[in-house]
Amino acid sequence: MYASLYRALYRIRRLEEETARIYPTDRIKSPVHLSIGQEAVAVGVCATLQPQDVVFGTYRGHALYLAKGGSMKAMVAEMFGKVTGCARGKGGSMHLIAPEVGVMGTSAVVGTTIPNAVGYAYALRYRESDSLVVSFFGDGATEEGVFAESLNFAALKQLPILFVCENNQYAIHTHQARRQATTDICARVTAHGIPAERITNNDVLRLFERSQAITREIRAGHGPRFLEVMTYRWFEHVGPNKDFQLGYRSLEEAQPWIESDQVVRLANLVDRPVREQIEREVTEEVLDAFRFAEASPFPNATELDADVFKEEAACSLI
C-alpha cells in the first residue's frame, strides 16, 4: 500500500513541478493553481474510492484529477489548450473533467461544485446505487451561501456524500481568521446534523484510514460525512512561483508543513529499488505527457461552439 500511495503522491508532485518549470515559456495557455504541499488530501481519500464513485473539485484540481485516475496526457494537453485535452482544449487547468473515471468536474467559481455534488448524490439515492460522491473544496468555499444550503439538503435527505474541505488556511492572500467569525468549520457542519472530523496535519496515512472507515459508513446508508483536512499550499495562489516575500504569510509558518512533506515521508516507507522504479516510471510518464501535449494540434476554429451546451443530462455513470 505504501508503494501505491507513494506513486500517487509522486505523480502529482512531479507533474506540478514540471508544470511550474514549463509555465514561463507560455506553452501552457491557462492559469495554474498548483497543489504542491496538498497532494495528500486527494490521494488519501481517492485511494479508498471505487472506480464507480465520483468526485467534484475546484480550480486547484490537478491532484484530484490524477488521484481519481484521470489521464495525465489529456490533462497536460488541456493546459496547453490542445484538442486532445480532457475538455478538448476549452477548459484549461481550472476545468478538468474525466467522467469515464468519475471526475465529474472542477470549477473556477468558488463553491459551485458543492451543490453539483449534492445533486449527483441525490440522483444516486434515487436510483438506489451503492456508489458515493466526494465533494472537494477549499476553506474559502465554506463562506459561500451554497455551502450551508448543500449541507442542509444532504443531511435532510441522508445522501451518500463525503464533503472534504482542504483547509490550507488561505483564500488567495487572506487568512481564515480574518475572514470567518468562527473558524471551527466542523462545528458549523455538525450544527447541520452531519458528523464531522478534522485531520490536523495533512497526514496521508491517517486520512486514508479515516476515509476508508467513513466511506464504509456512507455506503452502508448512514448519510453524509464531513472531513476537514488541515494542509498547506507551498506555492503562490496562482502561478509557478513561491510568494513568501509578499508579506501575507511567512516562510516560518510554512516550515513545519514543508518538513512534514508527505511525499518524502512515503518515499522513506518504500524499499529503495521499488521507489527508484516508481520515480523512473513517473518521470517518463510526465515527460511523455508534455511531449504529447506539445505535439497535439490546437482545436479547429469550427469547434468553437461545439460541446458548450448539452440538452440531455449526462447520466451514464449513475
Ligand X SMILES: Cc1ncc(C[n+]2csc(CCOP(=O)(O)OP(=O)(O)O)c2C)c(N)n1
What is the pattern of x (binds Mg ion, CB under 5 A) and - over residues 59-88?
Answer: ------------------------------
Q: Which of 84, 107, 168, 202 binds Mg ion (CB under 5 A)?
A: 168
Residues 127-166, interacting with ligand X (CB under 6 A): 138-141
Q: 171 or 263: whose CB is closer to ligand X? A: 171
Q: Is 229 exposed, middle or buried (0-12, 13-18, 19+ CB in 10 A)?
A: buried
- Indicate the SS3 state at residue 127: coil
Note the residue count of the chain: 318
CB of 60 to ligand X, least distance (A): 4
- Those residues whose C-beta lies under 8 Å from the C-beta of residue 75, and which sit 6 or more positions away, are 15, 62, 65, 66, 85, 86, 96, 289
User: Is 170 an interacting residue with respect to ligand X (CB under 6 A)?
Assistant: yes
Residue 92 binds: one of Mg ion, ligand X, none (C-beta under 5 to 8 A by kind) = none
Among 9, 56, 38, 61, which residue's Cα sits nearest to residue 265?
Answer: 9
**Near Mg ion by CB under 5 A: residue from 57, 89, 105, 138:** 138
The residue among 27 and 179 lying less far from Mg ion, judged by its C-beta, is 179
**Counting contacts by CB under 6 A, is residue 235 touching ligand X?**
no
Q: Which is nearer to ligand X, 54 or 141 (CB)?
A: 141
Dihedrals phi, psi of 299, to nearest 5 degrees: -65, 150
Who's near 275: CB < 8 A, 6+ residues apart?
Answer: 3, 6, 267
Residue choice 76, 114, 171, 266 for contact with ligand X (CB under 6 A): 171
Q: How far is the CB of 276 from Mg ion (least distance, A)?
A: 34
Min separation Cβ 165 and Mg ion, Å: 9
Greatest pairwise CA separation for the chain in angstroms: 52
User: Does the footprint of ligand X cover residue 75 (CB under 6 A)?
Assistant: no
CA 85 to each of CA 29, 289, 299: distance values in angstroms, whole numbers, following the listed order: 12, 11, 10
Residue number with CB closer to ligand X (78 or 139): 139
Which of 11/62 has CB closer to ligand X?
A: 62
Tell me the angle at which helices 72-79 and 272-295 cross, rounded to the nearest 10 degrees. 40
User: What is the footprint of ligand X within residues 49-68 (CB under 6 A)?
Assistant: 60
Residue 205 cell numbers, joined: 496515512
Q: State in angstroms the smallest separation of the CB of 64 from Mg ion.
A: 14
Which ranges of the chain would DSSP assign to H, the alpha helix?
Answer: 2-22, 39-46, 62-67, 72-79, 113-126, 145-156, 185-190, 204-219, 251-259, 262-267, 272-295
Give the chain's radius of gyration (CA, Å). Answer: 19
Q: Which does 110 bind (CB under 5 to 8 A by kind): Mg ion, ligand X, none?
A: ligand X
**Between the CA of residue 152 and those of 115, 194, 230, 306, what are the distances in Å?**
11, 9, 23, 36
Say which entry of Mg ion, ligand X, none residue 108 contacts (CB below 5 to 8 A, set by partner kind): ligand X
Instruction: Provide the minimum distance between the beta carbon of 51 and ligand X in the complex, in angstroms, as a whole number.
Output: 26
Choices 105-113, 125-133, 194-202, 239-247; region in contact with ligand X by CB under 6 A: 105-113
Q: Could you list the residues that contact ligand X (CB under 6 A)?
A: 60, 108-110, 138-141, 168, 170-172, 237
Q: Could you list the residues that contact Mg ion (CB under 5 A)?
A: 138-140, 168, 170
